[in-house]
Each structure stands twice: as C-alpha cells, then as structure tokens.
C-alpha cells in the first residue's frame, strides 16, 4: 500500500542536507509552511539556497531560517518589507546573497523547471536592470529576455487537505506558489491541516496531483492560521 504520509515534521524534512536548494511556498505568511521550516531549523542544516517570493516576515517561517543563519542565498521577488528585518540585517552584513527576480518570471521559471523546459523567453523585465547581460530576442515584434528554469532539491509547501497518495487541495490565497513548487522540486514535502482518506477529495477539484508530492504530514491548524 502506498502511503506518503509521515508521522511528524522531523521525518518529513529527513534527508535535507547542507547546501540544498529548497523552495518554500507562501506569499507573505499566507501558505508559509511554518512547522516544516521549524523542523528544518531544528535539523541544523545550513548553507541553503531558498526560493520564496519574499525574504521573511516577522519572526516565523523564512524569517526564522534567516535569523538562524542557515540561508546562503535567497531567490525572491520582494525582499524589502516593513517586517523583513532579519533579512535586512543579514543582507547589509553581507551574510546573504540575493537574486532578485520579477515575480511573474519567478513563477514562470519554477513552472518551467517542473514542466521540463530548457528555458523561457519572457517580455517581463526587458530593458531593465534585472535583464542586464541576459540574452534577448525579438519574437513577433516584441522583445523578450531568456530566463532559465529554477530547480530545487526540495519544496516545502502548505496545503489544506491531502490523501495518502499525495493529492492536494489548498485553501484560498494560501495556494499561491504551492502547485508549481510541488512540480519543480525533486522531493516535495507538504504539510496539510488534515489527511483525508483516499477518495475523499473530489477528483475534479484536486489541485496538485499526487505524482508531484513525495511526503505529507498532518499538522492540524498551522501557526499562520492561528496568527492574526
């Protein structure tokens, strides 16, 4: 019997080692898998490359990972926020490398990795600082920039419900990067509020098919839903 569920968050993050590239879902705190990140911090690994839309908010999630000094490089679109002080401090001290990517290019590059594409041409960013030195091409009268996929060793995402085959549904705008990160990483680890029996999810409404998910762990009501 195939059962991708694991009993706790420690087992969920097993195998993540120093230097890994880790995608972390979430837009701000919505969809941020705080419990998996806490387990990653407890695991003690560092020198990580983190792919997330932001660079941490407040004290939890990606912010806590940065505060703990575990992040060598972050690939994100919007690191400058009023409550991203742990990133600000690390960045100004030269302790963290930043690759800034326009948000839609970030999504498209992650999706390209998951879809097995070698690269994409995107109009976003053409003629700006963020396209400097990159190959360009005019296609059908419009200028495009060549951008490469973003792959990862692991993806840590948060979904609402999942089953033992790894099928997932999400909740509201917490969906954000989850479905595409699940496709792009070699190993995708999902934390869910509830593991439901096989067949309980309506197959017409499954958002992430189980093929993209290797492990899932039931968390109950996660931190970011309790916080307000």
Binding mask 163-182 for other proteins (x = CB under 8 A): -------xxxxxxxxxxx--
Phi and psi, residue 107, nearest 5°: -65, -45
Cα(84)–Cα(58) distance, integer angstroms: 6
Q: Please report how close the Cβ of residue 74 comes to other proteins at its closest, in angstroms.
A: 12
Does 30 bind other proteins (CB under 8 A)? Our answer is: yes
- Residue 83, burial from CB neighbour count under 10 angstroms (0-12, 13-18, 19+): middle
> Which among 12-20, 34-42, 76-84, 213-221 is the span making contact with other proteins, rule CB under 8 A?
76-84
Residue whose CB is less far from other proteins, 16 or 26: 26
Does 77 bind other proteins (CB under 8 A)? Our answer is: yes
Interface residue with other proteins, options 102, 149, 166, 210 (CB under 8 A): 102
Phi and psi, residue 12, nearest 5°: -60, -40
Residue whose CB is less far from other proteins, 91 or 165: 91
Is-contact 16 42, C-beta < 8 A? no
**Length of the chain, please?**
228
> Which among 2-10, 15-23, 35-43, 107-115 is the span making contact with other proteins, rule CB under 8 A?
107-115
> Any idea what DSSP says for residue 189?
E
Number of neighbours of residue 111 by Cβ within 10 angstroms: 19
Interface residue with other proteins, options 124, 151, 164, 209 (CB under 8 A): 124
SS3 158: strand
Chain residues that interact with other proteins, rule: CB under 8 A: 27-31, 53, 57, 77-81, 88, 91-92, 98, 100-105, 107-108, 110-111, 122-130, 143, 170-180, 207, 224-225, 227-228
């Amino acid at each position: 019997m195939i059962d991708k569920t694991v009993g706790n968050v420690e087992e969920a993050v097993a195998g993540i080692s120093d230097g890994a590239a880790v995608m972390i879902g979430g837009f701000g705190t919505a969809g941020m898998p705080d419990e998996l990140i806490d387990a990653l911090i407890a695991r003690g690994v560092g020198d990580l490359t983190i792919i997330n839309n932001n660079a941490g908010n407040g004290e939890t999630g990606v912010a806590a990972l940065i505060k703990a000094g575990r992040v060598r490089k972050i690939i994100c679109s919007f690191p400058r926020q009023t409550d991203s002080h742990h990133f600000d401090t690390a960045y100004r001290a030269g302790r963290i490398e930043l690759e800034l990517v326009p948000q839609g290019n970030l999504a498209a590059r992650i999706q390209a990795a998951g879809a097995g594409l070698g690269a994409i041409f995107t109009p976003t960013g053409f003629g700006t600082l963020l396209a400097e030195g990159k190959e360009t091409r005019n296609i059908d009268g419009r200028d495009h920039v060549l951008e490469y996929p973003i792959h990862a060793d692991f993806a840590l995402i948060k979904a609402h419900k999942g089953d033992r085959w790894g099928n997932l549904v999400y909740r509201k705008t917490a969906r954000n990067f989850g479905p595409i990160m699940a496709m792009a990483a070699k190993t995708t680890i999902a934390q869910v509020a509830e593991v439901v029996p096989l067949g309980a999810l309506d197959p017409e409404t499954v958002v992430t098919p189980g093929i993209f998910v290797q492990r899932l762990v039931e968390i109950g009501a996660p931190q970011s839903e309790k916080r307000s």
